[in-house]
Amino acid sequence: MAKAKTVFFCKECGYESSKWLGQCPGCRQWDTFVEEPVIRKGVSATYSHKELKDPVLLSGVKAEAETRISSNIGELDRVLGGGIVPASLVLVGGDPGIGKSTLLLQMCRELVGQGKKVLYISGEESKGQIKMRADRLGAFSGELLLLCETNLDLIEAVVHKHKPDIIVIDSIQTMFKEDITSAPGSVGQVREATGALMRLAKGTGTTIFIIGHVTKEGMVAGPRVLEHMVDTVLYFEGDNYASYRVLRAVKNRFGSTNEIGVFEMQNSGLAEVKNPSEYMLNGRPEGEPGSVVSSAIEGTRPILVEVQALISRTNFNMPRRTAAGTDYNRVNLLMAVLEKRLGIQMGDCDAYVNVAGGMRITEPALDLAIITAIISSYRNIAINPNTIVFGEVGLTGEIRAVNMADYRVAEAAKMGFELCILPKANVGNIKVASKIKLVGVRNIQEVMDYIKENR
């Protein structure tokens, strides 16, 4: 009996090879190849010229009016770009237990309340388990269709029969097609299952949400080509020790990318956090050295966060450097700038920098706040609690302009801050009519002088 032909696929990028390779030539990752059987395709038919479609001119295509379905969950609509787009395929990923199924079940409750026909397909839970979770979320004002099935061929038949408006697949790693011999969750099954769901969404006009498990590196399990096939990719992020959750859009064909929605996990499900700045600054110490408030931009939303620094004498030959919530290498770079440009010698000091609240901010606008917090802790000088600081710091100590400065200042004014230290180049572009005082600085020496004068 002839041996079934197999090929090797990269779990990260989907690169295909006839033999096993230690390093993937596509994504340069090590030990990512898995063996999968070849999917036999039918022989392509020969088409006549009458059956071939001719290309059309772009100028002759009429743009259709964009129609979106509101989920009645403001934070979810924000991340999706204004609502749910019909005939779209949305991938929702995140760590186990972070709230993916809970959020989508809450979305289903709101949609059936609007009279939409919603089908919830689960390959991991029974109908009784879904019912228990639904009862915890609250009463449903409409009827939700439930289906516990993993065979995609049977699922397609149910979809064509009932014609739902919205479908939720929980999860894509449990789905399989009978014509593929590999196990559910393998590279081939995940890729073919996603392709089948994409054709189903585009062919029927149904919006499909698929839940994807993540690997220990935080990426959706399966090949990276899975993310390229869908229209929107949403990631659920959150600290295991914090109650808030961040829903981030890393890909969106119908809206802005890197947009975020903030939720708080409660006993009755996920509650929207409409003012993340107030939530992140809750419990902030006032009048303590090493604490500074900065403004970060997540997508199109300004969020105020507290940056903390602790500089203390070390008892070891090698001082420690720790960064939580921001880039560790960036903190080392900024400390080197301080030592070179201001003469602050921290070679015998441990340095700890933290973005309070569990948020992870990597944008350069946080540089000036980190610099200010380090100086405040090193000199033991408390920063005025009504002060906000943002700006990018260069290697020569200059303070460079940042984008969306007026949005940052407006958010600070709304939260009651009275003073804003920002790059000199941004001061002339601020059009916000408020009583907040703007202090423009050109280099870190001016920041140091201002802190000393207003201690």
Tell me the binding residues. Answer: 94-101
Report yes or no: 385 and 304 within 8 Å, Cβ to Cβ: no
Give the list of residues 6+ apart from residue 45 with CB closer than 8 angstroms, or none: none
Report yes or no: 286 and 385 within 8 Å, Cβ to Cβ: yes
Q: Verify cis geometry, omega within 30 degrees of 0, for the bond prior to 70.
A: no
Smallest CA-to-CA distance from 26 within 5, 6, 11 is with 11
Residue 57 structure tokens:
């001119």
Between the CA of residue 292 and those of 3, 289, 306, what are the distances in Å? 66, 9, 6
Question: Could you tell me the end-to-end alpha-carbon distance of the chain, in angstroms, rounded to an integer?
Answer: 85
Helices (H), 251-327: 276-280
| Residue with token string 């479908």 | 167
Q: How far apart are CA 171 and CA 210, in angstroms?
A: 6
Report yes or no: 314 and 351 within 8 Å, Cβ to Cβ: no
Q: How far apart are CA 248 and CA 93, in angstroms?
A: 10
Please give the annotated binding residues for ATP, written as ranges: 94-101
3-state secondary structure of 243: coil
Q: How far apart are CA 380 and CA 385, in angstroms?
A: 15
| Residue with token string 């979770």 | 133
Element housing 308 (H / E): strand 301-313
Burial class (CB in 10 A: 0-12, 13-18, 19+), 391: buried
